[in-house]
Structure 1
Amino acid sequence: MNEMTIDKTNTRSYPMEGKCPFGGDRIGGALGSRPALENWYPHRLRVELLHQNGVAADPLGPDFDYAAAFNTIDLDALKSDIKQFLTSSVAWWPSDYKNYGPQMIRMAWHSAGTYRIADGRGGAGTGMQRFAPISSWWDNGNTDKSRRLLQPIKHKYGNALSWADLMVLTGNCALEIMGLPTYGFAGGRLDAWEADNATYWGPEVVEMGSVSSFDDMVNRDKRWRGKNGDTDYDLENPLAASHQALIYVNPEGPYANGDPQGSANDIRVTFTRMAMNDEETVALIAGGHAFGKSHGMTPAKEIGPPPEMAPMEAMGLGWHNPKGTGSGKDTMTNGIEGSWTPDPTKWDNAYLENLFKFEWEQTKSPAGALQWTPKDPNAPKTPDAHVAGQMHPLMMMTSDIALKVDPEYRKVCEKFLSDFDAFTQAFSKAWYKLTHRDMGPKHRYLGPEVTIEDGLLWQDPIPDATYAPVGEAEVAAIKQAIMAKGISVSDLAFTAFSAAATYRDSDKRGGANGGRLALAPQKDWAVNRRAAPVIEALRAVMAAFNGGRSDGKQVSLADLIVLGGCAAVEKAALDAGIETRVPFTPGRVDTTQELTDIEMFEWLKPVVDGFRNYVDDGFGAIAPSLSPEEMFLDKANLLTLTAPEWVVLTGGLRALNANHDGSNTGIFTDRVGVLTTDFFRNLTDTDLVWEKADTAGTTFTLKDRNSGQAKFDATRNDLVFGSNAQLRNIADAYAGSDGQTRFVADFVRVWDKVMMLDRYDVKGHRRSGPMAA
């Protein structure tokens, strides 16, 4: 038991705890030193990603009602506790200026700042700053200390207060104690309970323990196309950070080159990807830098590894600083040292005033990072954060000078300089958007400080109903009226699924509620065009039902679209010999074109939708490193589907022919519109053989193994269910002679799940699948 095993990554030692008595020198088993599948088969479709953050990982269980628990909290008392803490100082990590406010604003900002509009991932919604990889990004240096400082408050309020909510609320409280009137706060964020292994954070493969500085990190970057300043300059989708392990941009400029205009270019790209316009971008940067300081007293190469790589005795804390006390005046975070304003704990306009009043020259921090100092020796000074009476020159980052250099950003700055009240309101609203952007509909917002204002376009507003919802008798009559229109089962199912399939659990956007399938931009997407005549027919049904009623009951187009799909599935199941009732929950409301942000909804347009056998013509240019089936898996993940749900839903949609163009590709049946298991039986039939129909291997033809006669055509989004071992074994469960009844029941269950994904008005704050919804 005295043998030692060496972890070469971190060059630390620990006793071997289990030398095998039967030979060899280690016990691996299920806990082998490396994940073998990742090494052996790097291109394997990682279906297991559908099961991350599942109920098994959640200590609170699937029935924990977070809304009910949160509503037991006295929010005023909680905020009082937070504010009392913010103006204290703990010996092991003392506060700057005797105020933890600026530090906590950074924590909250960086928690929310990972959000990106392209796929809705990131953001503060599940408290992912607590887990890898985000917890150990260089840009999140010392946020581990901020969360650890908050632990007593978290323990006091227990599970009624999620970490995700606590981090954002603490940021709000910090702003309030320093004089900013915040725009509001909503609770309702459900914590994740394991590391995120699904989100794509970039193409760089860098061992984070080998990263010693911003310079070292960004020089390995591979995510940009073109050169900074060129018209072709663009950031790989869906990424929203300029370099690996950053939240936004390198504060020293692109690749730490000190170029303010180049920094402005990066800022515009990254903040646009964050769904922020120029005014919101300037407000956030100028507002955030009104507080606190940057830390750069120790060279980056001297700082220890991040939390995920720190030694066990560090107990989850990383970035050990060996200089002096390792904190306080010796703190190292991003390497830049100093404060932007003379009063770093007060909300004022000094940041913009000094930025524009003085000329700035490049200097270096004690850690060697590039920063800027006023040329005028008479410029105001800023107090030391820990030594009373000691003063320092003001500091600006290259990303600050960028706001002065860029013509469009400069216009916004000048507006805020001349109107401090406008600046205050702009920052307050932008902060609210930053920290709530990924929460989804206002039905998920909890607490007494939820902003009253409706119609914020980034919230995808849906008006309240002004009528009573339909009951069971009306539902039955409406279904008969829909079927009497002569619309095919395939068209009805396609239209309903198209409305619901825009949903993405990442930021809770999309879904059937609101009826946006009938509005721009969704009505104009190529993948949705098949739905247009169905919607017109359903409008006629709606007009006939709603006209002249005296009981106050009405049906929305959004409900009609879903109800038409339910009627179609029931008809398809009955034609397969199984009578079933598809659940339907009324209450969806139609929104308006004026309440629909076309630009923001354009981001929901699919590049690949394997459920409807759709691949955008520009897919190769948009995602050159990905296959259609990988994008298909990603869509299943965003719909919170398990692997069995993914398989059964696709098989059913193929039986119904929900292809975007109504083609026969992937429709392995001659009984189209009947809810059979034909897709699975033909997919797994060993008497059939598949051949490529093109050299690229994107389309295929199914032939009889003996005669060579062609039977069916398919895409990669069809064959993946036969080629992938995990998916094929699930398909086998439905292909057998006893699979039909199970298939219909399972399809109906997952159909209802997809139709209800966005119904937070009725399903509350409980889990609804492998991901927290």
Structure 2
Amino acid sequence: MAGAAPRLARMGALLARQAAPAMSTTFGGQPLRFMAQQAEQQVPFEVTGKPSGKVRMFQAILFGSLGAGFAYGYSLFTAAPPESGPMAGIPALATGKRSVPGDYDAVRKDISSILDVDGYDDGSYGPVLVRLAWHTSGTYDKKDGSGGSNGATMRFGPECDWAANAGLATARKLLEPIKAAHPWISYGDLWTLAGAVAIEDMGGPTIPWRAGRVDAPDGSKIVPDGRLPDATQGAKHLRDVFHRMGFDDKDIVALSGAHTLGRCHTDRSGFSGPWTNAPTTFSNLYFQELVNNKWVPKKWDGPLQYEDKASKQLMMLPSDLALLSDRTFKKYVYQYAKDEEAFFKDFAVAFSKLLELGVPNLPPA
């Protein structure tokens, strides 16, 4: 016992120290972190006929620390796992069997299988997966090469908690069973591939996609907040954001066409409503609505947004209407409203480029 007790004490101390940040429990009136420190300090003791006060203190701390460690271990099995990331646990497999490394067709099939669902928005997870791919990629800065989809740093705080990323935990959690079924694929590759597959499955163009993203082990490479577009801003802001990534004015308008999908939510962006009457179909309808409707400020308690004067069922953001107020942007808006094929072609090129920003060592196209 004399030789084993110090080792037990250190074990109990270690477990208690691990438990301290994760649990608010106290043991015997003492916080767990305090107990862990005391246990580490009280390891030396003597085995004599009658326990000294120091020994009695050590014994109390020993069993208290082991108890705290047990409580922490128990909590690992009973606490709810995080929604996404390496500690999310293993959810049910998407296909019932694991694929071989490099079988991206199998991953594509699993992504396609989860897109349509009753009860979520307009019946499809496709738009939120496109947004996940967009936001994990759109942090890139061409000046220093920071940001982008390589690393999948949205798995960590504070990036996962940015206001611009509100609601994307839904998309990350949705893809966890697919990650479990194909553990060889990185989160960066999975998230961007999901966006590409969603666009294709909703009727959009084929998005050229290449694997090669490597997940970061932690959040040390997270870039400063504020790099993603702000929907309340105008043409200058759009150029600042997109030119930073290396896009030109045509790319800005083409990528804005992704607003043909999905809708805004007051609990995420603060805005509300869809851009089109077909929010789960990828088309040039966004541009048609933009040029053919009369847009007026919506009278409500939320932030400034616009609604179509006729039906009041559709909405546009200030950044959307900025595409009409700028001469260069407007030219492409009208082109895409008339020619869906041209829009699809330019969007596929721009979106593929977006997904690859900041990703080194990609295989040949």
Instruction: Calculate the TM-score normalised by the size of structure 2.
Output: 0.72
Query: Do residues 412 (structure 1) and 346 (structure 2) align?
Result: no
Q: Structure 1 residues 394 and 139, CA, compared in 2 at 3 Å: closer, same or farther? A: same
**What is the CA deviation profile of residues 40-77 of structure 1, one whole-angstrom value per residue up to 9, with x for unaligned ones?**
xxxxxxxxxxxxxxxxxx99xxxxxxxxx997332222
User: Is 2:262 the counterpart of 1:342?
Assistant: no
Identical aligned pairs, as a percentage?
32
What per-residue deviation string (whole Å, max 9, x for no partner) do you get for residues 622-673 of structure 1?
Answer: xxxxxxxxxxxxxxxxxxxxxxxxxxxxxxxxxxxxxxxxxxxxxxxxxxxx
Q: What is the deviation of 1:200?
A: 5.4
CA contact (8 A) 2:200 2:207 kept: no
In the other structure, the counterpart of 1:264 is 235
Superposed, which structure 2 residues align to 1:3-82 within 5 Å? 15=26, 16-20=31-35, 72-82=101-111
Greater percentage in helix: 2
Structure 1 contact 335–365 (Cα < 8 Å) conserved? no
Q: 1:163: how far off?
A: 0.6
Distance 1:199 1:134, change over 3 A: closer
2:264 aligns to what? 294
Q: 1:373 aligns with which of 295, 307, 323?
A: 307
Q: Mark the CA change 1:365 to 1:249 in structure 2 (over 3 Å): closer, same or farther.
A: farther
CA contact (8 A) 1:336 1:365 kept: no
The aligned residue for residue 587 of structure 1 is none
**Is the contact made by 1:115 and 1:123 (CA closer than 8 Å) also made in structure 2?**
yes
Q: What is the rounded CA distance, in whole Å, between the counterparts of 2:223 and 2:199 in structure 1? A: 32
* 1:149 to partner: Cα distance: 1.3
Structure 2 residue 138 is the aligned partner of structure 1 residue 126: no
> What letter matches 1:293 in structure 2?
R
The aligned runs of 1:280-291 (5 Å cut-off) are 280-286=251-257, 288-291=258-261
Task: Answer whether contact 1:337 1:365 (CA < 8 A) is retained.
Answer: no
Aligned residue among 160, 169, 186 for 2:210: 186
Q: How far apart, in 1, do the equivalents of 2:205 and 2:36 lie? A: 67
SS at match of 1:182: coil
Work out the CA distance in 2 between the residues paired with 1:157 and 1:22. Answer: 42
Given that 1:162 and 1:191 are in contact with CA atoms closer than 8 Å, whether structure 2 keeps it comes out as: yes
Matches of 1:351 and 1:195, distance apart in 2: 36
* TM-superposition CA deviations, 1:168-196 (whole Å, max 9, x none): 01001110110112231111111111112
Whole-angstrom distance in 1 between the partners of 2:273 and 2:333: 22
Q: Secondary structure, in 3 states, of the residue corresponding to 1:361?
A: strand
**Residue identity matched to 1:108:** A
How has the CA–CA distance of structure 1 residues 193 and 178 changed in structure 2, closer, same or farther, with 3 Å as cutoff? same
Q: In the alignment, what sits opposite 1:155? A: 180
Structure 1 residue aligned with 2:231: 251
Partner of 2:16: none
Distance 2:289 2:37 in 1: 72
Q: Tell me which residue corresponds to 2:115.
A: 86
Distance between the aligned counterparts of 2:25 and 2:273, measured in 1? 40
> In structure 1, what is the Cα distance between the partners aligned to 2:229 and 2:205?
27
Please give the residue correspondences for 1:213-612 in structure 2 after superposition, counting only pairs within 5 Å: 245-253=225-233, 263-286=234-257, 288-296=258-266, 332-363=267-298, 368-377=302-311, 393-441=313-361, 444-445=362-363, 451=365
- Find the structure with the greater CA-based Rg: 1
Higher relative contact order (CA 8 A, sep 6+): 2
Q: State how far apart, in whole Å, the 2-side matches of 1:21 and 1:117 are.
A: 47
TM-score (norm 1): 0.35
Distance 2:320 2:120 in 1: 24
> In structure 1, what is the Cα distance between the partners aligned to 2:182 and 2:310?
50
SS in 2 for 1:185: coil
State the match for 1:114 in structure 2. 139
Which whole-Å CA distance do the structure 2 matches of 1:199 and 1:192 have between them?
A: 10
Structure-2 change in CA distance of 1:376 and 1:82 (3 Å): same
Aligned mates of 2:123, 2:102 — CA distance in 1: 28
Residues of 2 paired with 1:188 and 1:71: CA distance?
16
Instruction: Give the CA RMSD over aligned residues.
Output: 2.5
Aligned pairs, number: 282
Deviation at 1:365, TM superposition (A): 5.4
Cα deviation code 1:541-595 (max 9, x no counterpart): xxxxxxxxxxxxxxxxxxxxxxxxxxxxxxxxxxxxxxxxxxxxxxxxxxxxxxx
